[in-house]
Amino acid sequence: MISLRSGLTVVLLNYFFINPDEGLYVNELQRELNLDKRNLVKKIKELEKIGLLKSWTRGNLKFYSINKLYPLYNEYKNIILKTLEFESKLKKVLLKVKKKKKAYLYGS
């Protein structure tokens, strides 16, 4: 099971689920997502080990992409995409309320 508490995990999964047919190597991911390379490599290896990411080599470059055959692919995809949709809607609402400096969101 993947913990979605890690910000790095969420950023990576957001990217790969939004771009499921795209394969990138580590330096491209680092540049694209503005992430620390050491932590990025560690997280990619972790996600590849459990099978959520797949990799292949072309020349001396190792590319990574989401593994659509992962058993929980559709479940994770739905969670990620629903979260992104909610985030987008929330931002639109908050942009309309210009005079407020803080907003609190809570629930159970």
Q: What digits encode the pLDDT tens for the residues 2-29?
A: 776 778 888 898 899 989 999 999 999 9
Please give the helix or strand (H or E) that residue 86 lies within, else none. Answer: helix 73-96
Instruction: Give the residue-averaged pLDDT of 39-45.
Output: 95
pLDDT reading at 92 higher than 70: no
Does residue 108 carry a pLDDT above 70?
no
**Rounded Cα gap, residues 3 and 40, in angstroms:** 15
Q: Which amino acid is at 42?
A: K
Domain positions in the chain: 7-89
Maximum Cα–Cα distance for the chain, whole Å?
54
CATH architecture assignment, domain 7-89: Orthogonal Bundle (1.10)
Q: What is the pLDDT of residue 104?
A: 72
Supply φ then ψ for residue 54, to 5 degrees. Answer: -120, 160
pLDDT at 79: 85
